[in-house]
Amino acid sequence: MKPNQGSSQGRDMSRLAVAARSAVEDATWAPSVHNTQPWLFSRRGDRITLRADADRRLEVADPAGREMLISCGAALFTLRVAVRRQGYEPEVVLLPDPDRPNLLADVRLRSGGLPAWPENERVYDQIRRRRTHRGGFKPGEVPESLLGALRREAQREGASLYLVEDSNAQAALAALTVAAEHMHRLIPAYRGELGRWAPAPGSRRREGVHETAYPRETARTEPDFAGRDFGRGRGWGIDASILEWLEEPAVGVACVLATKDDNPADWLRTGQALQRLLLRATSEGDVAAAFHTQALEVPELRELVRVHFCAGDHPQMLMRLGTGGTAFTSVRRPVEEVFTEKD
């Protein structure tokens, strides 16, 4: 091998290593259930692997790991966007080894002669701007043109976004979330699990749902979708005076993200579809999502949602879309805790 050739290959690999680390750091800003951040990344050569961190699975609320894999799928889509921004094309293989169920994806970084994708830069810019919303939204409609675009974004990742716009259907879906929330609160282990992922104010933990991520008092909407009780009646959360739109809180647009089948590959596709539509929504009018997945954690209620709200598809995410401002903030673990390199 000629010295120049070797030197060129070394520079290329060094550049790739920097790009991979930067892309993983961006990927950690994906949404995850209770902000558990249940992902691990590693790089060897030109490949990044994504694994589920099973120790972060919610044993009570998510025994099958469905929500954990949806969270990891959201991180995978974010990684894809970040890799493209670094000048590489991600070649993704989902679940590459059936004997290693926690190995979720193998991503090869391919370089050279890639076509420009102007939309990627716009989507990338939303990665750290996007926030999960909790509570009512500002008054006003989500544009029909955007809702149509979000449905197409979900389809590109193999999922379907069902809009629940009829007032009776919205009320029924809201009632299911309320019922599920009350059922959860009857289970001491569930309350304990929620408490472990909702630290007290002033905590230095870089995970979980901190008091800056939810309102102290949740204003009711009509119909009213139950939220998680992260404050547990202790007066934690953001002061409502910061959220000036709460004088007239709006419910927004209720919707269900669903897939034809219901297996780990579908859960990963759901996560990618979710993050794809969330970043698109953020880029157009600062539309955010409030998640209400309690009913999907109760098998009997999830079946009702499947039959009555998503045409027999399997519901994976239940949420509301609307404009909520940027008052809520979140935390993330440092990249060193989730990323290893094996060169």
pLDDT tens-digit series, residues 121-180: 999 999 999 999 998 898 888 999 999 999 999 999 999 999 999 999 999 999 999 999
Q: What is the CATH number of the domain that holds 32?
A: 3.40.109.10
| C-alpha–C-alpha distance, residues 154 and 233, integer Å | 36
Q: What is the DSSP string of 131-152?
A: -B--SPBPSSPPPHHHHHHHHH
Examine the domain organization and report whether 120 and 252 are in the same domain: no
Tell me if 153 is assigned to some domain: yes
Examine the domain organization and report whether 81 and 180 are in the same domain: no
Q: Given this model, what pLDDT does residue 220 score? A: 85
| C-alpha–C-alpha distance, residues 217 and 235, integer Å | 8
Examine the domain organization and report whether 11 and 102 are in the same domain: yes
Strands (E), 18-83: 39-44, 47-52
Examine the domain organization and report whether 64 and 205 are in the same domain: no
Output the average pLDDT for the chain. Answer: 92
| C-alpha–C-alpha distance, residues 46 and 9, integer Å | 12
Q: How many CA atoms lie within 13 Å of 275's alpha carbon, on the beta-carbon side?
A: 33
Token pair 């926030």 is at which residue?
131
Q: What is the mean pLDDT of residues 23-28?
A: 98
Structural domains in the chain (count): 2
Q: Name residues whose C-beta falls within 8 Å of residue 170's C-beta, 6 or more positions apart in sequence.
A: 164, 223, 251, 254
Query: Where is pLDDT greater, at 247 or 51?
Result: 51
Share of the chain above pLDDT 90, in %: 80
Q: Given this model, what pLDDT does residue 249 score? A: 85
Helices (H), 186-237: 188-196
Task: Find the domain containing 78 and state its range.
Answer: 3-128
Examine the domain organization and report whether 148 and 91 are in the same domain: no
Q: Given this model, what pLDDT does residue 77 score? A: 98
Tell me if 331 is assigned to some domain: no
| C-alpha–C-alpha distance, residues 157 and 55, integer Å | 27
Q: Given this model, what pLDDT does residue 248 score? A: 79
Q: What is the mean pLDDT of residues 60-87?
A: 97
3-state helix, strand, coil in the chain (%, to 5): 45, 20, 40
Examine the domain organization and report whether 187 and 73 are in the same domain: no
Give the residue from 218, 288, 279 showing the smallest Cα distance to 253.
288
Examine the domain organization and report whether 124 and 149 are in the same domain: no
Rg (the chain; Cα; Å): 20
Q: What is the mean pLDDT of residues 267-273?
A: 98
Token pair 């953020």 is at which residue?
282
pLDDT-based confidence at residue 2 (cuts at 50, 70, 90): very low
Examine the domain organization and report whether 221 and 109 are in the same domain: no
Structure tokens at 56: 């972060």
> What's the angle, vertex CA 336, arms to CA 330 and CA 340, rounded to 5?
130
The answer to whether residues 320 and 290 touch, using CB atoms and an 8 Å cutoff, is: yes
Q: Given this model, what pLDDT does residue 252 score? A: 94
Tell me if 341 is assigned to some domain: no
291-312 pLDDT, tens digit per residue, is 999 999 999 999 999 999 999 9
| C-alpha–C-alpha distance, residues 136 and 179, integer Å | 19
Q: Given this model, what pLDDT does residue 245 score? A: 58
Q: What is the mean pLDDT of residues 48-61?
A: 98
| C-alpha–C-alpha distance, residues 149 and 37, integer Å | 28
Share of the chain above pLDDT 70, in %: 93
Tell me if 242 is assigned to some domain: yes
Q: Given this model, what pLDDT does residue 6 score? A: 58
Q: Which of 71, 93, 128 is the last residue before a domain boundary? A: 128
Least confident of 201-210, 229-238, 243-252, 272-281: 243-252
Q: Given this model, what pLDDT does residue 244 score? A: 60
Tell me if 134 is assigned to some domain: no
88-121 pLDDT, tens digit per residue, is 999 999 999 999 999 999 999 998 656 556 789 9
Q: List Cα–Cα distances, 227 to 134, 174, 230, 293, 318, in angstroms.
A: 7, 10, 9, 9, 12
Tell me if 343 is assigned to some domain: no
Query: Where is pLDDT greater, at 327 or 69?
Result: 69
pLDDT-based confidence at residue 1 (cuts at 50, 70, 90): very low
pLDDT-based confidence at residue 327 (cuts at 50, 70, 90): confident
